[in-house]
Amino acid sequence: MRGRVLLLLLGSVVAAGLSFGKPMDKGRLTRSDICGECHRDIFDMWQRSAHAKAMEDPVFQDAFRDTRSKEGEAVSRVCLGCHAPAVEFAKDAELEKKITWEGIGCDICHSLTAVRMEGTGPKLVLEPGPVKRGPIRDAVSTGHDVAYSELHTQSLVCAGCHEFANSDGTAIMTTYSEWKGSESAKQGKTCQLCHMGRTKANVVDPKVKRVPGQEVNLHEMPGGHSLDQLHKALTVSFQPERKGDELLLDVRIANRGAGHAVPTGMPGRRVFLDLTVRSSDGRSFEERKVYGKSFADASGKTITRDSAYFAKGVKLETDSRLRPDEQRVERFRFPIPTSATAFVSVKLRYEHSPTGGPENRTSITFLSEDRTLPPSGAAKP
């Protein structure tokens, strides 16, 4: 008799998932390596993604430590809402569980049932458990229950973490709303179309189930750290001209390939247009345009650290980013005599400095074009 009570007690402890509990039980998030046992190809792609590194990434960790020491515990918890959302569900305040360290794992996205657009930014509504939600209408799985989800085919599924206003209501990250107002959105081009293109691979290991078609959505989701994506984003054209002793240079720069502003996301990201003009008679000029968004902190100082955007009293200073579909003409004039040869060089560079210093700086030159103009006097009769 006593034995049975004990067993019952033990049984309810297990059912409550306090110490053991099976993966995919109701209310329980499952680790991505368990999903990877069957969804091997997708798991490999995901492991290379920024999502998989959102928490363990040393660049994030530096900024996170910076936040804890300079802004305090409450602000640092805001970071985890997007970089390690499992913390809340796995009740891992001490940041000790493996699932916390996998950043944005499979089960975060595939347990999403809704994204609510609310005051200070969207909220993720998660129902972890036996049902995995995705874009396949006729999926049948022995591994877990499945449900077709329209949400997963829409941009809204990404909005939960790619849109944010702080507790004062100041918009900090606006990728989703930038997209909503874009030509891409009107044409039905979703985030998934540009960041999760279809690629040849197995939805599940063929040993588990043969799925015809053999195509999946790219789970690497490349962004601003990818040279390929940066190439797609902007186009640049220029035709230097001479007018008397002046060199006229109109640079047309257009955001054609990104369905949102360039740069987008965390404010500290910037794109530089760098111009160098030299002449055969020894003159040399440098010009620069910066595309970015800057905020000031409560004391009015320009913010340079990612950790500081989330504090109270933050205000937008400037926004010179290239809006989706925008074409801008930057005009430059240089005093170069017609008798001299001119060498023109135009470069585009993406830069991000999450902690404000050089230690974690990303810098990618993604366009570089040179032009030489012979003396124009020589060509005249």
Nearer to ligand HEC, 191 or 277 (CB): 191
349 binds ligand HEC (CB under 6 A): no
Tell me the window of 3-11, 87-95, 213-221, 240-248 that interacts with ligand HEC (CB under 6 A).
213-221
DSSP state of 331: E
Give me the phi and psi of 61, to 5 degrees please.
Answer: -60, -40
Please state, in angstroms and rounded to a whole number, the distance separating the CA atoms of residues 183 and 8. Answer: 60
Please state, in angstroms and rounded to a whole number, the distance separating the CA atoms of residues 318 and 207. Answer: 55
307 binds ligand HEC (CB under 6 A): yes
136 binds ligand HEC (CB under 6 A): yes
Tell me the window of 236-244, 303-311, 330-338, 369-377 that interacts with ligand HEC (CB under 6 A).
303-311
* Residue 58 DSSP SS3: helix
Residues between 139 and 168 that touch ligand HEC (CB under 6 A): 139-144, 146, 148, 152-153, 155, 157-158, 160-162, 164
* Residue 329 DSSP SS3: strand
- With CB under 6 A as the contact rule, the residue among 21, 81, 130, 356 that binds ligand HEC is 81
Cα distances (Å, whole numbers) of residue 377 to 24, 213, 245, 305, 373: 78, 64, 10, 51, 11
28 binds ligand HEC (CB under 6 A): no
Task: Check: CB of residue 63 under 8 Å from CB of residue 355.
Answer: yes
Show the CA angle centred on residue 324, arms to residues 258 and 115, nearest 5°: 75
- With CB under 6 A as the contact rule, the residue among 209, 347, 349, 371 that binds ligand HEC is 209
Residues between 165 and 204 that touch ligand HEC (CB under 6 A): 173, 175-176, 179, 184, 189, 191-196, 203-204
Nearer to ligand HEC, 204 or 303 (CB): 204
Residues between 317 and 336 that touch ligand HEC (CB under 6 A): none
Tell me the window of 6-14, 216-224, 284-292, 328-336 that interacts with ligand HEC (CB under 6 A).
216-224
Task: Check: CB of residue 268 under 8 Å from CB of residue 227.
Answer: no
232 binds ligand HEC (CB under 6 A): yes
- Which positions from 256 to 295 touch ligand HEC by CB under 6 A, shown as an x/- string? -xxxx-xxxxx--x--------------------------
CB neighbours of residue 201 within 10 Å: 17
58-70 vs 73-83: helix crossing angle, rounded to 10: 150
How many positions of this chain bind ligand HEC (CB under 6 A)?
97
Picking from 176, 142, 344, 327, the residue whose alpha carbon sits closest to that of residue 264 is 176
- Which positions from 36 to 75 touch ligand HEC by CB under 6 A, shown as an x/- string? xxxx--xx--x---xx--x--x-xx--xx--x-------x
Residue 70's identity, in one-letter code, is: K
Distance of CA 198 to the CA centre of its chain: 19
